[in-house]
Structure formats: C-alpha cells, structure tokens
Chains A and B, each alone.
Chain A
Amino acid sequence: MTVLLSFIILVLLFVVLVLVAKASEISAELKGKFDYIQQSRLNGYLLIGFLVLMFAGSAFAYKELAPVMLPKSASLHGIATDRLFNITTIITVAVFCVTQAALFYFAYRYNESFGHKAYFYPHNNTLEVVWTVIPAVVLTFLIAFGMYEWFKIFNVEARDKNALVVEVTAKQFNWIIRYPGQDNKFGKRVIDKEHISPTNELGIDWTDKGSHDDFMADKLYLVKDRPVLVKIGALDVLHSFYLPHFRVKMDAVPGIPTEFYFVPTMTTEEMRQYLSTQPWWQTINPETGEPRWKTFKYELACAELCGKSHYGMQKEVVVVTQREYDEWLKNQTPVYSTMTPKEAPASPQPAEPVKTAMLTR
C-alpha cells in the first residue's frame, strides 16, 4: 500500500514538475524571445553555490570520515605505502581545489549576463608547455617514489631466510591455513586424482616425512617484527588474500602459486592499546556492550569475487610476540598424528568451516 501510495505521489510530482517547466517555457516564449541571459545569471550563482557546497561537503566528509578511513598500518611496507598515499592525497587535493575553483569561478564570472564580448584566444604555446611540464614533473616524482617502494616490497633477494612460512589456500568459501611445523618445511603436495580427495583437498603426500609435523590452524598466527612469507593458492576459483591492516593483497589463483612477504609491526594487543586512544574505538559496541577496541581483531578477507558467499570469507589474524608464538606452536597437533595408520592419507579438514547460517545473515 505504501509502495503504491509513494508511487502515485511520485508520478504526481513528475506531472507537476513537467507542467511548471512547460509553463515557464511558454511564458518565456510569449515575451518574444527565450531569455537565456536570465537563466545564465541564475545558473552562474548556482554554480558558485555548488562550488561552496562541494568544498564544504568535502571538508565535512574529511572531518567525519578520515578517522575511520584507513585502519592504522601494522606492517613495515604499509607504513611506506601509506606515506605515498598521503603525499598523493596532498598533491591531488591541492590540484582539486585549484582546478575546481577555476572551473566554477570562470563559469560564473564569464557567463553572458555580465554582457561582455568573448575574447578570441585560440591558443598560447607557453601556457600549454607550462601545464604539460608541471604535471609531468610531479608525476615523475610519484612514479619514482612508487616504483622504489614497489620493488622493495617484491625484492626476493632481500628476504630473510628465517622468515615464518605459512601456506594459505582459498576455496569456496573458506581459507585453509597450513603451518610447516617445527622443521619449517611443508610436506609435498601432489596434484593428481590419487592424492586429491574430499578428505585431502590439498593433495598432501603423507609418505613425505616433511608432512608429518604440518598442522592446520583456524586463525592466522603471525609474529611481531618477524618477516612472514605467505604462500598463496586456490583450489576452485580466483580469490584474493587481503589483510587490510597489513596493506597486503595478493590474488589466489588455481594452478598458479603466488606469495606475499611482509613484516607485521604491532601485536594484536598493541593495536588494541593504540585504538583505546581513538574516539571511534572508544564507543560502545552494542553487540558486546564493551568499548570497541577491547574486542578488536585483525582480519583476513577475500578481495576477488569468488561466488555467492564471497563476502563471508573471514578469518581472524593474530599477531603475537615470538614467545607467545612458541607457546602456541607447542599446543598444535600435526594432522598426521591424528590419523590412524590405515586411514593415512587422511583428512586434514580445516577447523570450523564457514557456516551458511552466518553467510546469509
């Protein structure tokens, strides 16, 4: 009923608008000539009004939203790319203000209602060279800075040999997280019909001794200040391994392994302490009844459309100190040890698969 009513109101509104518009046109025509000058004057003021509104709106949006815009970076390279982001922001905001102001001010100042003649001015080579060279110089700086950081992130030679290695495999709609265990070496995976089965989706070769201390984890555990190399893969379709707080994103591609190397710089606990000083995070979370920062957690998300529950591929990421990590490591049970001799090769099911109930919420 309300839908029907609002529909009728809408139609009536349209009819009224059209009639008013038509009437104004007819009255203009009755006066003899369609009065564009009057309209130009009005629109000149309106455009200036819009310019003011746009600047005020942008400033307001910045004030309100900037604090929640990007989560604080918790990785080494993230601090650098954030710096580049901020520098780019400063440059683009400056260009935005100058060009938008010029555009709308000229539109107002030189509209025909002021009654002056247009100035025939087809080109000016000096001017054009200037506004080609200035952007070129600024862009060269941004390109150089960007490339420098980019190559630093993907510099394979500079990697720490003792980095933590984790394997993350994506599938519809979950992440399988495998740790190499005490030996820091993964057991071999064989991609054939013999090895891959519903109970062994990764195709782990249980005859490989290296697999015997490998374990699966429900959360991605990382160590503060210890580099980590994440080996990324996918079983079925494209996914993307996205850690928003760590400025990490890398596609997970079936059949093609990818990886990302980075250094976490803040433990979960340290991030909570930091957030406890931030106004938004001090507000109460209605679900827990506590300040938001208390339950803060790092998260892993999927950033490549992978099907109907793409938005549900969440995993918690925990950053701890090396000591806490060692403690945690001791309590993990290798998959191999849980299998009966007959059963091996047996099922490394990822703990707690994403529940459909949650997904369709």
Chain B
Amino acid sequence: MQTAQTLEHVQTEHHAHVHGHDTHHHEESFLTKYIFSQDHKMISKQFLITGMFWGVVGGLLSVLFRLQLGWPNETFPFLETFLGKWAEGGKITNEFYYALVTMHGTILVFFVLTGGLSGTFANLLIPYQVGARDMASPFINMLSYWFFFAASVVLLFSFFIQTGPASGGWTAYPPLNGLRDTGVNLGSGLGFDLWILGMSLFIVSALLAGLNYVATVLNLRTKGMSMWRMPLTVWALMFTAVIGILSFPALLAGCLLLEFDRLLDTSFYLNNIVINGELLGYKGGSPILFQHLFWFLGHPEVYIIILPAMGLVSEVLSVHSRKPIFGYKAMVLSIIAILVLSFIVWAHHMFVTGMNPNLGAIFTLFTLLIAIPSAIKTFNWIGTLWKGSIRLSTAALFAIGFVSMFITGGLTGIFLGNSAVDIQLHDTMFVVAHFHIVMGVAAFFGMFAGVYHWFPRLYGRFMNETLGQIHFYITLIGGYAIFFPMHFMTGLPRRYYTYANFETFNNFNHLAAFISVAAIIVFLGQLLFVVNFFYSIFKGRKVKGEKANDGYEYANPWNATTLEWTAPVERIHGNWPGEIPTVHRWPYDYGANGREFIPQTEPLKPGEVSHH
C-alpha cells in the first residue's frame, strides 16, 4: 500500500507540475533522462535496446556453432583471427563449442526473451494501458533495469577470461557444473562462478520488476478500468510477472546452493564423485535435487517467455483485424489455466532421470492438459481473423507468423509430454526443434509484432514497412527452414560437437549444412531489423497527429481503442498532460454499433450494453 500512496503523491506532483508549465515537463539532466531514468517509457527502451544487443550476440553464437555442425570437416581461418585459441586452425574447439551452446541458451532464454521481452513491453504497456502515470515504484523500476545491466556486464565479461564462459549447458546441471574443476569441464571454473553471479543479479532484476508490474496493475488502474476491461496484453504481462515472482526464487536458491557446493565443499547436489580414480569427499547430496529446483523455474520460464508474446499478439491481431479478440474471457481464463498448470509440469524435463514412474505418469497428465488452454487460445486467434478486415502490416504479419509457429511447435510438445514417447525423444534434436519453434521463434515473432506495432508509441515514428516485410518473410521461411527439418533428426542426441563417431547418427550431413545456411541467412535478416530500428528512430516516417488545445500533438496510428494512444505523441513524464483518462468500456469495441472502433474512453450511449 505504501508504494501506491507514494505514487499517488508522485502523481499529484506531476499533475501540478504539468499544469504549471504549459509547454514542457520538468527539466532533466542527460543523466536522469537517458541513463538513470525512472520513466517507464525510457526504461522500456533501455530494456529493448539491451535485449537487442543480446539478441545479436546470442544469434551470432548460434551462427558460430552452426558452422561447426553444418561443416564438421571444414576449417574457417577467419575464425582463428577473431577467436584465437578458441578456434585454433580455423576450427572451433570442442570446449568452445560447448561454451557457445551454453551461452546461446542462457542469453536467449533469460537476457533476450525474458529481460528483453517482458522488460520492454511490461514497462511500456502496463502504465499506458491501465492509465497510470508511471509504475507503482519508478525507483524500483529503475533498479530492475540496472540489475539487469549489471547481470549483462558480468555475463559479457565471462567471455573474456582465460578459461572462457560457462560451458556445462544453460541448465547448469551438477556435478558437471558443481565441481569447480577446469579439468572436469573448462567452463566450470571462474566462467561458471560468473554465470551464477550474472544469473543471481538477473533474478534480482526479474523479481524487482515483477513485483512492480503486479503492484501497478492491481493498484494504479485508472477510474473505470476494472480488471475485465484490461487489454489482454496487461493480463498476460501481469500473470507473467506472477509466474516469475513465484518461480525465480527457486532458481536463485538452487544456484546459491550450487555455488556453496563449488566454493565451500558442501554436498547439496554431490554424492560419491570419483574423478580419475579418486573418491572426492562429497556425501549424501543429490544431483536430481538441482534438476527439480532448476525446472521448477525452468518450466514456468517458458511461459514467462511465451505469455507476453501471446498478449502482444492478441492485441495486434485484434487491432489489425478491426475485430474484437474472439472469446476475451476464454483468453484470460486460459492464461490463468496455463499459469496454474505451468507450476505442476516441471518434471517432464526429467522423465529419464530414474525418478519414480508414478511421478512420470502424473507429470504426463498435467503436461498434456496444458495443451487444452493452448488449443483454446490458438482457435480464438484464428477465430479473430475470420471475417475481419485485416490490415496486413508488418506487425499483423508477425502476429500471424506467431500463431503459425505456436501451432507447429505446440503440436510436437504432445509427443514429448508423453513420457513413453519421450524415452526415445529426450535430449534429441527433436526437442531442439520443438522448443526453438514454440518458445524461441514464436516468442520472437510476438516481440517483433509488438515492436512494429508500438514503435510509433515509443518514438513517434513508424518503422519502415518494406524492410519490415522483407524481415518478416526471411524470418518466417528461414525459421521453418532451420527448425522444421530437425524434427526428422528424431534419434540424434543434441549437444554433439560432431556425429562422426556414430554410424547411427551419420546420415544427416547434407541436412545439417542446409540448416546452417538457413541459420546464417536468418541471422543476417535480423540485422535488417536492427538497421530498420535505429534508422527509423531518427529518419522514420513521422506519425501524423492533430494538435489539441493543450499544445500537444495526438495520434492514433492504428485506430486502436486502448489508452496508450490517448496520450500525446511526445512521450512526456506522467504520460497525460491533463487528467488521466477515464475508462467506460472494454478494449475490444472494434466494429461495434456499426462503428470502426470506439475508444475505451468513450462513455456508453444511453441504452448501450457494455460487453464487460
């Protein structure tokens, strides 16, 4: 409550302030405006640009290891020029290969698709769409970014130490990562200490951010904005934060205990370890315990990634189809179902760890149940398109691409969630195909849909549509070209440096090269997005609005109903120069009463029945 009160205070202060000076908000130094900003819009940009940086780095890492996988017998002399001892003779060493795979996973899952995605859109959209002047605690919000930044610095730093970054897999399983012994695994020395430090800072950032998001949604909704009048983006972002708050602490605890094992010789996860014929002193721990802790976050984590994307896509599809989202309540309820189920499916990552078969059966049951709310959402998106009048702009294209990817990747989950089938598929390329499509590529599609759609809100300009559409088709066709064929590598273990030692796995060489070519093209396609993004910040087509009496320019470039477009084009502190808007109706009155769209701020006509 205290935060809410504090904010109330801040709000009235802004109020008075804005009324006092007609033309501009209070003066800020460069430092408080661009660096240590407490403004949710600036923090959103900070998360987005940091996320894009990590996206490029993470993508580049995958290009490097795809070179090895696609052409295991070739050498690439230029690699030695850039990477030195990690690519001696132009060939990536096996140790560096595993570091690349590990860091690619860590960066993409946490730093891009959690920090970059939630951080950007929760910050941008929650205050704007619920009608708040800022987050419940702008200061904590700032801290959450700077913890994220610190985590980024630590992780980036780990690339430049002598033993290289962590290389024991992004899942950090002990004992491989539990022994601080570079003889066991080169990346398990200082590299992994830095990984733990970086992840701990990251988790602090995620928790601070998440608490703030939930507090803002619950306490700072404007007058008339009942929960059932919130756009699906806000629902999704709020529940994402709830999942994060409930699950990230488990990983933090798990990681700290792991570091105790490494530094203080405790035995939380270690038992009877024999290295080179020597029995180490660890007794009584269980490596499986770490897996339970890890996946207690790790599985909800995939929903932390996909729910915001779902929210963004729901909104974008509805706006660009000029139709209400089909089955709004069902959409919200299915998010809640996913939230609940996401906490009781984690051990499906552990079907073959030797755990009790009864547990396997229970986790199969819950895992496959999660397909039901997912199916509802998919059908509702398709239902939204039906008989719409769809503007196929880049944002809408990416939203449609998201649904396509989500279907494809979701369906293969039905194989993997079934424990009996998973015995064969576990830790094979089939799994790689599944999760890359459903939570990797799909989440990126959601994120791109969001960026193209809300870019005018962020910068007052549009991104270039032509470039955007080229980017879309490269990513859509390329994304499928990379990951669809991997389904056919059904028996191939993942995380193999080469398959040359096995006759059984040796019949996919041409396919591996094809996938690598596609991966490189898709990576270059993403650079097109980066170019478009920065170019459009400065030179993009300007949003054309109308000047109102208060001297501000107002625009609603997509003719959307939601509150973020009732604020001036210019991003001012406190968002609205005058009163905060009052809400009278749900956010999906597209095509209602024979009108193109009715903003949420428009009062109901006498006799008009509100949908919610």
Shortest C-beta distance, B607 to chain A (Å), equals 17
Mark out the residues of chain A between 99 and 157 whose CB falls within 8 Å of any chain B CB in the assembled complex.
99-100, 102-104, 106-107, 110-112, 114, 116-124, 127-128, 131-132, 135-136, 139, 142-143, 146-147, 149-151, 153-154
Shortest C-beta distance, B318 to chain A (Å), equals 10
Residue B286 at the A interface, CB < 8 A? yes
Which one of A118, A280, A308 contacts B323 once the chains associate, using CB atoms below 8 Å? Answer: A118
On whether the beta carbons of B541 and A68 are closer than 8 Å, the reply is: no
Cα(A307)–Cα(B415), bound, Å: 28
Shortest C-beta distance, B453 to chain A (Å), equals 13
Q: Given A96-B411, A150-B360, decide whether A251 and B477 contact each other with a Cβ distance below 8 A.
A: no
| Residues of chain A lying within 8 A (CB to CB) of residue B175 | 236-238, 254
Mark the stretch among B32-40, B56-64, B123-131, B485-493 that contacts chain A: B485-493
Cα(A238)–Cα(B112), bound, Å: 29
Residue A249 at the B interface, CB < 8 A? yes
Number of B residues with CB within 8 Å of any CB on chain A: 132
| Residues of chain A lying within 8 A (CB to CB) of residue B469 | 39, 43
Shortest C-beta distance, B480 to chain A (Å), equals 7
Shortest C-beta distance, B245 to chain A (Å), equals 29
Cα(A201)–Cα(B426), bound, Å: 29
| Residues of chain A lying within 8 A (CB to CB) of residue B387 | 110, 118-119, 121
Residue B511 at the A interface, CB < 8 A? yes
On whether the beta carbons of B493 and A103 are closer than 8 Å, the reply is: no
Mark out the residues of chain A between 236 and 266 whose CB falls within 8 Å of any chain B CB in the assembled complex.
236-238, 240, 242, 244-245, 247-251, 253-259
Shortest C-beta distance, B313 to chain A (Å), equals 12
| Residues of chain B lying within 8 A (CB to CB) of residue A50 | 473, 476-477
On whether the beta carbons of A305 and B372 are closer than 8 Å, the reply is: no
Q: Given A136-B372, A311-B497, decide whether A92 and B411 contact each other with a Cβ distance below 8 A.
A: yes
Residue A24 at the B interface, CB < 8 A? yes
Shortest C-beta distance, B505 to chain A (Å), equals 8
| Residues of chain B lying within 8 A (CB to CB) of residue A226 | none
Interface 1/0 per residue, A290-326 and B, CB below 8 Å: 0000011111011111111111101000000000000
Q: Given A34-B541, A99-B378, A235-B273, decide whether A58 and B484 contact each other with a Cβ distance below 8 A.
A: yes
| Residues of chain B lying within 8 A (CB to CB) of residue A10 | 524
Cα(A257)–Cα(B607), bound, Å: 72
Residue B274 at the A interface, CB < 8 A? yes
Which one of B397, B426, B477 contacts A43 once the chains associate, using CB atoms below 8 Å? Answer: B397
| Residues of chain A lying within 8 A (CB to CB) of residue B383 | 121, 127
Shortest C-beta distance, A140 to chain B (Å), equals 9
On whether the beta carbons of B491 and A70 are closer than 8 Å, the reply is: yes
Interface 1/0 per residue, B403-432 and A, CB below 8 Å: 110011001101100111101101110000
Which one of A107, A198, A359 contacts B392 once the chains associate, using CB atoms below 8 Å? Answer: A107
Which one of A106, A123, A199, A200 contacts B385 once the chains associate, using CB atoms below 8 Å? Answer: A106
Which one of B361, B386, B389 contacts A147 once the chains associate, using CB atoms below 8 Å? Answer: B361
Cα(A297)–Cα(B502), bound, Å: 10
Q: Given A25-B466, A88-B421, A251-B354, decide whether A43 and B278 contact each other with a Cβ distance below 8 A.
A: no
Which one of B287, B375, B386, B481 contacts A255 once the chains associate, using CB atoms below 8 Å? Answer: B287
Residue B156 at the A interface, CB < 8 A? no
Residue A44 at the B interface, CB < 8 A? yes
Residue A12 at the B interface, CB < 8 A? no
Q: Given A196-B277, A308-B186, decide whether A253 and B488 contact each other with a Cβ distance below 8 A.
A: no
On whether the beta carbons of A199 and B277 are closer than 8 Å, the reply is: yes
On whether the beta carbons of B279 and A192 are closer than 8 Å, the reply is: yes
Mark the stretch among B236-244, B325-333, B439-447 that contacts chain A: B325-333
Which one of B278, B400, B421 contacts A84 once the chains associate, using CB atoms below 8 Å? Answer: B421
Shortest C-beta distance, A105 to chain B (Å), equals 9
Closest to B589 in A: A120
Which one of A117, A146, A242, A308 contacts B389 once the chains associate, using CB atoms below 8 Å? Answer: A117
On whether the beta carbons of A29 and B364 are closer than 8 Å, the reply is: no
Cα(A116)–Cα(B324), bound, Å: 16
On whether the beta carbons of A150 and B361 are closer than 8 Å, the reply is: yes
Shortest C-beta distance, B18 to chain A (Å), equals 32
Q: Given A84-B420, A121-B323, decide whether A18 and B467 contact each other with a Cβ distance below 8 A.
A: yes
| Residues of chain A lying within 8 A (CB to CB) of residue B426 | 240, 249, 303
Q: Given A92-B414, A149-B420, A308-B95, decide whether A40 and B531 contact each other with a Cβ distance below 8 A.
A: no
Closest to B323 in A: A118
Q: Given A14-B527, A143-B364, decide whether A305 and B98 contact each other with a Cβ distance below 8 A.
A: yes
On whether the beta carbons of B390 and A112 are closer than 8 Å, the reply is: yes
Residue B173 at the A interface, CB < 8 A? yes
Residue A46 at the B interface, CB < 8 A? yes
Shortest C-beta distance, A122 to chain B (Å), equals 4
Residue A71 at the B interface, CB < 8 A? yes
On whether the beta carbons of A143 and B418 are closer than 8 Å, the reply is: yes
Shortest C-beta distance, A248 to chain B (Å), equals 7
Residue A276 at the B interface, CB < 8 A? no
Residue B357 at the A interface, CB < 8 A? yes
| Residues of chain A lying within 8 A (CB to CB) of residue B466 | 20-21, 24-25
Residue B537 at the A interface, CB < 8 A? no
On whether the beta carbons of A110 and B186 are closer than 8 Å, the reply is: no
Closest to A311 in B: B496
Q: Given A198-B278, A253-B288, decide whether A40 and B390 contact each other with a Cβ distance below 8 A.
A: yes
Assuming A236-B184, A305-B98, A361-B500, what are 6 further A-B pairs, CB within 8 angstroms?
Answer: A57-B481, A84-B418, A121-B323, A121-B326, A131-B379, A249-B426
What are 18 A-B contacts with C-beta separation under 8 Å?
Answer: A18-B535, A29-B541, A81-B420, A84-B418, A85-B421, A110-B321, A111-B390, A124-B327, A131-B376, A143-B365, A151-B357, A203-B274, A236-B274, A251-B354, A255-B286, A303-B428, A306-B176, A308-B98
